[in-house]
Amino acid sequence: MARDSLYGERIVWQGRPTVVTTPPLLRAVAALAFVSSAVSTLFAAVVATTLEHSPAPLLILAAWAATVGLGALHGPRIWLAQVKYTVTDRRVIWQRGPFKRSIERRSISFARIFWNGKTPGTGDVELVRAFQAGVFRRKLSLRLIGLSAPDRVWAIVRGTEDITPVGSGERPLAQRLDPGERVLWSARPRPRVRAYLPGGTREAGELLLAALVTISIVTMLWRAIPVFGRILDAGVSGRSGAFLAIVTGVALTALYLGVLAGYLVYDSMIRPARLVRDTRYLVTDQRVLIQRGREELHLDRSRIVDVIHAPAGDGLMNVFLVLDGPRARALAASGAFGEDRRSPSLRPVFQSVDDADSVTQILQAPDFRDAA
């Protein structure tokens, strides 16, 4: 078998990104850049035709904004085109040219799989390692982007590629278990009205930003309408190209800001509540599995060293899983030390469940394979 040139370890699997999508943040940056380019071009036309001044500065700004937009939109594809993933008998390696990042297979606490909604059978795998909590807490993760059959890659990493079939993000996790694996407990978080309220600093910040953007839209239109009136009073025809260019530029800016404000409200209030209804918790005789929409969390039960309860209100409980691994215990992001804030990614936590005692008894059984 081939061996890795840096570590000298036997190579088990190698691959590259097959499907690369631009992250939402970069798509938003690209949209802002393209709108700015269009607005600058429209105003450049007004300056050249009506004011009879050189439109060069505005055209340069438009070209620069368009370049930024193209870079944000296609930059990830260019960057990942030269990335290579390698799984050896001891570690997982991310490599691009001379740059390498790696994580030991035995130190991986759990994995997240993000299925691609546009290309079935593809997605990302994020490998997360637990670290100490308190002042030393930090997170080490390695994300393999754009994989074909990401569940198969994760099976290779955990050493079960010979028995685990290739799955699909469209199928429930209960239909994609290992051969002989049994479900011992299953639950869904109970939807509550408070799920629509901001659950952390990130959501609160997004809601505040949405309010500021809305105020900016109102202020901009409040000042623009009188300006349109003065332009018409100055003798400019309402059907002229210059007037239509100004109105279009202001409308494009207001439209983009309105879409941005709406997305921030959706991401901070509506989306988290909708994801609660799409979440399912599974405890098998081998693993803990969480599925939420197109995102999944896979955790081997041997990593769990303790289970902690915390009241969630309305008679429900949050169940936090304390993890352990080589030179690491109690992943800070698991919430085992009171971190009950929402996270954009799945954590090893069962939120708002009404059967916490049963799952705790199963997870803490001395021989959990006989806990059924």
Residue ranges of domains in the chain: 24-80, 83-182+285-370, 195-275
**What's the whole-number mean pLDDT along residues 188-207?**
76
Decide if 92 contacts 102 (C-beta within 8 A).
Answer: yes
Q: CA torsion angle for 346, 351, 353, 359 (degrees, to 10)?
A: 60
At residue 198, does pLDDT exceed 80?
A: no
**Taking CA 71 as the corner, what is the angle to CA 66 and CA 72, rounded to the nearest 5 degrees?**
100
Instruction: Give the phi and the psi of residue 247 in degrees, each rounded to 5.
Output: -60, -40
d(CA 339, CA 201): 12
**What's the whole-number mean pLDDT along residues 258-278?**
83
Diameter of the chain by CA atoms? 87
Task: Please classify residue 75 by burial: count the beta carbons closer than 10 Å to its beta carbon, then call 0-12 exposed, 13-18 middle and 19+ buried.
Answer: middle
| Res 81: pLDDT | 84
Res. 370 pLDDT band, cuts 50 70 90: very low
**Secondary structure (DSSP) of 294-321:** TEEEEEEGGGEEEEEEEEEETTEEEEEE
Q: Of the segments 103-107, 132-136, 336-340, which one has the largest average pLDDT value?
A: 103-107
**What's the whole-number mean pLDDT along residues 22-45?**
88
| Res 195: pLDDT | 67
**Secondary structure (DSSP) of 3-31:** B-TTT-PBEEEEE--S-----HHHHHHHH
At residue 253, does pLDDT exceed 50?
A: yes
pTM (2 d.p.): 0.80
